[in-house]
Amino acid sequence: MSREYSEQEVIRRDARAQLDAAGFPPYGYSWDVTHHAASIIDDFDETLHQPVEGVAKVPFRVSVAGRVMSMRIMGKAAFFNLQDQSGRIQVYISRDDLPEGYYNTIFKKLVDIGDVIGIEGFVFKTRVGETSVHAQRFEILAKALRPLPIEKEVDGKVFNEITDKEYRYRQRYVDLVVHPEVRKTFQQRARMITTMRSFLDERGYVEVETPVLQPLYGGAAARPFTTRHNALDMKLYLRIADELYLKRLIVGGFDGVYEISKDFRNEGLSRFHNPEFTMMELYVAYKDYNWMMDLVEEMVETIATVLHGSTDLTVGDNTISFARPWKRIPLFEAIEEKTGHDLSGLSRDDLATVAKKLELDIDDTMGSGKLIDEIFGEFVEPHMIQPTFITDYPIELSPLAKKHRTKEGLVERFEAICNGKALCNAFSELNDPDDQRSRFEDQVGLGMRGDAEAMQLDEDYLRALEYGMPPTAGLGIGIDRLAMLMTNSRSIRDVILFPLLRPEVEESAAETE
């Protein structure tokens, strides 16, 4: 289906045709890049490289490639800015340094802002002192047929900046070209994951891959996506967590395994939720949740230091210190601190009374675990800015966690809360298969009563536990949430390159509806 081109697109398509006609390829095959913008600026030494009357003591010859970001044509010479992955460098190009016709008929007429070009020349400093490349040869590597919304910055004021969030998320390629800080966010995200991976590898934990397509889903309270395998004529779920497969590997004799992968939960979208998100899960044999708290602290502190050279980060309006040790406080104590109510040992009805007193919206279907969770989520979690371990959760909320060794009705579980949001979830793993079976049965009961997020009973997982799983500490950490903290991003969509959006409506399709 053909589309009507805008005026600027018509002009650019015509320019491409003229390049073809002139035997000047609009799409090159390769370009030998010797330097990047940032390194040229760093390495330029005026005493050696600056030409005097056209001759430098040591010529600084470079070959660069990138996108044309601005253009200042002044008759027989021109300046433009070239952007590559490292930054921007100014290029000077003049008629007399190029073969006959290249400047006037090719460069001046047929090269546009947005084109990807290769430049070969030598480095010099202009009268006003800007390090620049004096071009002696150029090729067009990719002609841009659409105009780029490139912004201009003057005295800190920005013109033409793309502010339409939808545009930025849908056409992330454009967002990345025009917003260098977006590229930086994703470079930092990559570095964060690399740091985490080496942190875990150094300790001897093995990175593994477990199924995304699962006949049964489990390991978290969430609604799954469903799909179908044709040849086996079999209903499959996209995983909501890696947990149950990873613990099977602990049974199998791995002492430490981890996986960094996408999980999928069929839930609403928000500033903190994307239906597919990245999770790191780690399981270490012979350890418990106290040990795991030490590891989380050390890992996150390491990441902050590697990324920012400091354990203290600015996140929104707050300065957050990831320096060890983090505060550790049992769930009930944290609630009592904020609300004045000690919930320990309260019956379901007493909890409901407290919740009503605190003016929470509750209903009769909520069990005691859910009520405690509501009170915590409303009065405690949003106010915890500095990283804090909340420990010892009610057993109803944690069907895969081991009973607390001393506290009745609780499990050995913790969450790290930071900037008002849970960052990770961890526990001493339940390894008694009979206890696990009865917890699964409770979940199935919840599911029959209409809880769409209840877990399924996984017989094969129970079979694995029956062979004996060593005591194990388990951890799940939301990579996107951590990336938001580490890059000071307000929305999860700012740390996911291509967040899920409603399908784009075609202009023509919209008309026929």
Among 34, 85, 105, 126, binds RNA (CB under 7 A): 126
CB nearer to RNA: give 251 or 394. 394
Query: Do 476 and 243 meet the contact criterion of CB atoms below 8 Å apart?
Result: yes
466-505 binders of RNA (CB under 7 A): 476, 478, 480-481, 490-492, 501-502, 505
Q: Is 255 helix (H, G, I), strand (E, B) or coil?
A: coil
Supply the Cα-derived Rg of the chain in whole angstroms: 29
Among 94, 210, 261, 353, binds RNA (CB under 7 A): 94
Least separation in angstroms between residue 29's CB and RNA is: 25
Least separation in angstroms between residue 162's CB and RNA is: 5
231-270 binders of RNA (CB under 7 A): 265, 267-268, 270
Decide: residue 29, CB within 10 A, 0-12 exposed, 13-18 middle, 19+ buried.
exposed
- By CB under 7 A, tell whether 76 contacts RNA: yes
12-51 binders of RNA (CB under 7 A): none
Among 60, 102, 205, 277, binds RNA (CB under 7 A): 277
368-387 binders of RNA (CB under 7 A): 373-374, 377-378
CB nearer to RNA: give 251 or 278. 278
Measured between its terminal Cα atoms, the distance across the chain in Å is 17
Query: Do 498 and 204 meet the contact criterion of CB atoms below 8 Å apart?
Result: no
Least separation in angstroms between residue 311's CB and RNA is: 21
CB nearer to RNA: give 221 or 486. 221
Query: Do 116 and 126 meet the contact criterion of CB atoms below 8 Å apart?
Result: no
Cα–Cα distance, 277 to 269 (Å, whole number) = 11
Closest CA to 70 of 127, 5, 151: 151
- By CB under 7 A, tell whether 390 contacts RNA: no
**To which H or E segment does residue 326 belong?**
none
Least separation in angstroms between residue 141's CB and RNA is: 18
Among 62, 244, 260, 279, binds RNA (CB under 7 A): 279
**Beta-sheet pairing, 157-159 with 152-154:** antiparallel
What are the phi and psi torsion angles at 507 (to 5°)? -55, -50
CB nearer to RNA: give 95 or 203. 95
CB nearer to RNA: give 124 or 389. 124
Among 6, 34, 226, 319, binds RNA (CB under 7 A): 6
Cis peptide preceding 59, ω within 30 of 0? no
- By CB under 7 A, tell whether 8 contacts RNA: yes
Among 52, 55, 58, 74, binds RNA (CB under 7 A): 74
155-174 binders of RNA (CB under 7 A): 155, 159-167, 169
CB nearer to RNA: give 92 or 283. 92
205-234 binders of RNA (CB under 7 A): 220-222
Least separation in angstroms between residue 113's CB and RNA is: 5
What angle in degrees, to the nearest 10, is found between the helix axes of 243-251 and 459-466? 30
Query: Do 185 and 300 meet the contact criterion of CB atoms below 8 Å apart?
Result: no
Q: Name the DSSP class of 438.
A: H
299-338 binders of RNA (CB under 7 A): none
CB nearer to RNA: give 126 or 194. 126
Strand partners, 80: 71, 91
- By CB under 7 A, tell whether 128 contacts RNA: yes
CB nearer to RNA: give 405 or 502. 502
CB nearer to RNA: give 284 or 416. 416
The four Cα atoms 419, 424, 425, 426 give a dihedral, to 10 degrees, of: -130
Long-range contacts of 361-367 (CB under 8 A, 24+ apart): 365/449, 367/396
Query: Do 386 and 320 meet the contact criterion of CB atoms below 8 Å apart?
Result: yes
Least separation in angstroms between residue 309's CB and RNA is: 26
Cα–Cα distance, 215 to 244 (Å, whole number) = 13
**For residue 66, what are the CA distances in angstroms to 36, 114, 120, 328?**
9, 9, 12, 50
- By CB under 7 A, tell whether 456 contacts RNA: no
Q: Is 258 helix (H, G, I), strand (E, B) or coil?
A: strand
Question: Contact letters (x/-) for RNA, 96-125, by CB under 7 A?
Answer: x------------x--xx----------x-
**To which H or E segment does residue 152 belong?**
strand 152-154
Least separation in angstroms between residue 168's CB and RNA is: 9
Least separation in angstroms between residue 193's CB and RNA is: 15
425-444 binders of RNA (CB under 7 A): 425
129-158 binders of RNA (CB under 7 A): 129-130, 132, 134, 147, 149, 151-152, 154-155
Cα–Cα distance, 107 to 506 (Å, whole number) = 35
**To which H or E segment does residue 312 belong?**
strand 312-315
CB nearer to RNA: give 251 or 484. 484
Least separation in angstroms between residue 253's CB and RNA is: 28
CB nearer to RNA: give 72 or 184. 72
Query: Do 303 and 193 meet the contact criterion of CB atoms below 8 Å apart?
Result: no
